[in-house]
Amino acid sequence: PYTSYQRKVIKNFYNNKDLRLIQKLGELVSNLYLESNEKKRESGWKNIRKMLLDLKVHPHEVEYLTRDKNLAMISKKLSEMF
């Protein structure tokens, strides 16, 4: 019961999901560079792990990227994906 316009909007929304996730991941990495609160940093790293898995990054690679909590490694992966 959707109009053709609504179907197109819905289709575009799902087609661009990865792009939105990559953008959100980039924002999260930027925020973590500035964050000093340890609880918020830990929460941010949990979100990074989840987003990488949502972007279908292999679980072993996610573990490797997040093990040392090195934001430079995440930034490098982001530039490869984008």
What average pLDDT does the segment 12-22 reach? 92
> How far is 51 from 79, CA to CA, in rounded Å?
15
Query: From the CA atom positions of the chain, what is the Rg in Å?
Result: 15
Check pLDDT > 90 for residue 1. Answer: no
pLDDT at residue number 81: 85
Reduced to 3 states, what is the DSSP secondary structure of residue 1?
A: coil
For 43-68, write each residue's pLDDT tens digit.
999 999 999 999 999 999 999 999 99
DSSP percent split of the chain into helix, strand, coil, nearest 5: 80, 0, 20
State pTM to two decimals.
Answer: 0.84
pLDDT at residue number 72: 95
Check pLDDT > 80 for residue 82. Answer: no
